[in-house]
Chain A
Amino acid sequence: MRKHLAFLLALVMVLTIAAIPAYAADEEKVLNLASESDILTLDVAQTTDDYFIPHNVFDRLFEIKVNPDGGTDIVPSLVADYSVSDDGLTYSFTLVDGVEFSNGNPLTAEDVKYTFEHLLTAPKACNYDIAEEVVGAEALLDGEAEELEGIEVTGDLTFTLTLVAANAGYIAELTSPAMSIVDKETVESVGDFGTEPAYTIGSGPYIVSEWVPNDHFTLTRNENYWGEAPDADVVVMNVVPDANTQNLMFQKGELDIIDLDALDSSIIDSVYKTTYADSIVPGYRVGVTFMSMNENNEFLSDVNVRKAVQMAINRQSLLDNFYGGDGIIQNGMIATGVWGHNDDLEPINYDPEGAKALLADAGYEEGQITFEFSLDSSSGDTTAMVYQQIAQDLAAVGITAEIKSYDESAWLDFRKTEEMPAFLGTWTMDYNDPANILGTFFSNSTSGRSLNYANQEIKDRVDAASSIIDDDERMAEYQAIEHAIVVEDAAVVPLYERAHLFCIGEKVASFVPHWAGFSNFFVRDVEMN
């Protein structure tokens, strides 16, 4: 009896010990994240901002891959093969075989065509710039057609896409989160899937398993995912509007990655750059923060005044004082990290005396130049301090920039009237091509930016540049355009490209930020311990 008991005890011990690693191996890897605000829709057709779901639940035809040296490449994702016609107007695509949506439906060329149509016709659609370039898009938008003429499905996995005008950067545009491929059958059946996790069907690595509005949403692995499975089994995105609360959560281990953009720079310097210095993952918000100057303004219409403003602002001091030096001073609008960035562009030197002399030569008396400098109060205390420093710099050369504060909605409403005299803006790249920023701010179709850039020749050249098929030639043209805009016309004051820092907790082994520094990063780029 005693022998049996001893055997039984030994068996229990062995099984217990054996069970421990098995349990550890089966333990779910949960990645806890936080965001200051909740997503408003799951459908990318209805947003130009909420990109966490598109990035992690859907796939695109092409993606941008971040190389170990920090550079980026466009790589095919859902596309197995493609070719472009000599005139640059027609693209022929073959999709990867065997890709399924999370509901088991195969991903076909019909789904791709439907995605373009959905972008143009979804309720409250606002993210259709890229789809709009396809032949027949206008007719679909106006309700004069029922399908998109410019996309012809030639087989289950093959289709051709014809553009209204050649655009050598179109493949880069297809990497944009807006171009996330949806399941035709599901979206057609529900119409508007914007708030329903059950109908948010993509082919990406995760599915939306739960969404408690303004509290949290949860992603779990897509068991049908066709690519390499991501490391985190479950991703919980907590909605934590208070930055201090996010800070406490991270320090207590309740968050595994914290976006330091949410925190005050004093907390970053005193806590994160000391206690967590080895856990900081640096990245950049690929894009330029700039001071916009409205050429319809009485004084800012004069290129001498605009050049004086450029020379009067101490940009390095702004970066050092308010962002701890975390960033790169930019002399142009094509930021470091964007194709076509020009390191050799003439630097804008801080030269207050030169600015004074320029204004005096142009016939201005001290204090004569006054304009409103409009601040979006929701952009935070640090931005408000940057405004004050710029106003002081300008005052030192005799220019009065009167800071006027608006809440976000009023600020946006004022800016779209084209009457806002001057403001600070930041544009983070949607896709890696200079057309994204130059087309948005300096083309003939620019609207609601309060820039009123007057150089018609340059605006025409911006529009024409996208049709240049040869990439080297196209980039040279964009650099020449950038030179004309920033150096010759002094249309804006490029300030800096800010670093975007993240801090990882003990559960995270490695993390690669989004190539453009979006807060809505790809979770598949996170490896867990």
Chain B
Amino acid sequence: MSTLKSIVRRVISSIPVLIGVVLIIYLILRVLPGNAIATMMGEHYNAEAERTIIAELGLDKPWYVQFWMYIAGLFTGDMGTSIKYHKPVSELIATYFPVTIKLSVMAALVAWVVGIVCGVISAMRKDKLADRIGMGFSLLGVSVPVFMTAMVLQFLLAYKLGWFPIQGTKEGLVCYILPAIALGWSSAGSVARLTRSTLLEVMGSDYIDTARAKGRSVSGAVVFHALRNALIPVVTVMAIQISSLLSGAVITETIFSLPGIGRLCVDAISGRDVPLLQGSVIFATVLVIAGNLVADCLYSVLDPRIRKEV
């Protein structure tokens, strides 16, 4: 019950955060030079048409009126209409989100499963060849930029070997494998290094010695006793990584031509499409808040003492 209360409290407290985020984005875009209508018309700028469309979209009203109307609309589920795409923002997010969620989930699987497995093996084989290979793999992941990994994977595995599609989504889930590896590898590196260090620390604890004295094998002690405690800080990092996976998606979506939220955000910024950018940012903020909530819940699963504290 107390956990549920805590979740409800967290959800309610995130509402002012969301409004703050919307206000900041709104003000930044107000301060930045440029406007959506002139950008839309480009070389064929027509002052009269610009004035007409601005009035048509209500963009000639004072900023605080527009902002208030936007916030009021949010409470009725109306996220506004994209100036650039001529479509409701909620419809655009619903169209583009499935691509981003597929990419992010697969990248998270790469990051977390590979990262944790690699970290555990490295810890169990400390200073052995497997440890060096594992740590080398994670160092590469952390150091090489996502766009470089993406381009190398695309060239070798898609273009040269033809194992995967070069781009697009037409061939289904297989299209997401290379982008997910490119996006997830960097996070896998951090997870692996953190898992290794925390596991090594936990492995020196008395209760692990007790477990070993009772006849547990090394791997048994790791899996049934050490890993659970070692994962608590790892879960914190994993929750933080949700936002970096979303932001990293911008680059991978561009290189692999995936129509996801990342590209939508870039379009919104370059086109000064305020409603679309606000909608996308609100959506990303909700995801990050939800990710952190899930992480908090996971703590209590991993460590009953935290549940009691909550």
Give A residues with C-beta under 8 Å from B.
Answer: 40-41, 46-49, 123-129, 141, 192, 194-195, 212-216, 238-242, 244-245, 248-249, 251-252, 254, 378, 406-416, 425, 427, 447-449
Contacts and interface: CB of A to CB of B under 8 A. Distances in A.
Given A48-B41, A126-B49, A412-B34, A213 B257 contact: no
A409 B84 contact: no
B271 A409 contact: yes
Given A245-B166, A407-B270, A412-B45, A214 B259 contact: yes
Of B52, B257, B272, the most chain A CB neighbours within 10 A belong to B257
17 contacts: A124-B53, A124-B56, A125-B52, A126-B53, A195-B85, A195-B86, A244-B151, A249-B167, A407-B34, A407-B270, A409-B33, A409-B36, A409-B272, A412-B34, A412-B39, A416-B45, A449-B45
A402 to B, nearest CB: 18
Given A195-B86, A447-B47, A49 B42 contact: yes
Interface string B242-285: 00000000000011110100011000001110000000000000
Given A40-B84, A129-B46, A409-B34, A215 B259 contact: yes
A412 B86 contact: no
A212 to B, nearest CB: 7
Nearest to B84: A40
Q: Chain B binding site: helix, strand, loop or mixed by DSSP?
A: helix
Contacts of B255: 242, 244-245
A41 B32 CA distance: 26
Given A215-B168, A409-B270, A409-B271, A416 B38 contact: yes
Nearest to A426: B43
B46 A123 contact: no
Contact of A249 (B42, B57, B166, B169): B166
Interface residues of B, number: 49
Contacts of B259: 212-215, 239
Interface string B183-216: 0000000000000000000000000000000000
Given A48-B44, A195-B86, 7 more contacts: A49-B42, A212-B169, A240-B168, A409-B32, A409-B35, A410-B34, A448-B45
Contacts of B166: 245, 248-249, 252, 254
Contacts of B96: 213-214
Contacts of B154: 245, 248
B66 interface: no
B257 A238 contact: yes
B168 A238 contact: yes
B87 interface: yes
Contacts of B43: 48, 425, 427
Contacts, number: 135
Contacts of B254: 241-242
Contacts of A416: 38, 45, 47
A46 B155 CA distance: 39
Nearest to B45: A448
Contact of A245 (B87, B95, B257): B257
A176 to B, nearest CB: 11
Contacts of B47: 416, 447-448
B46 A248 contact: no
A449 B254 CA distance: 32
B38 A41 contact: no
Contacts of A448: 45, 47
Closest 8 CB pairs of A and B: A409-B34, A214-B259, A48-B44, A410-B33, A126-B49, A215-B259, A409-B39, A410-B34
B46 A126 contact: yes
B86 A192 contact: yes
Contacts of B257: 215, 238-242, 245
B33 A413 contact: yes
Contacts of B7: none
B270 A378 contact: yes
B159 interface: yes
A373 B13 CA distance: 49
B170 interface: yes
B256 to A, nearest CB: 7
B85 A213 contact: yes
A128 B49 contact: yes
B158 A248 contact: yes
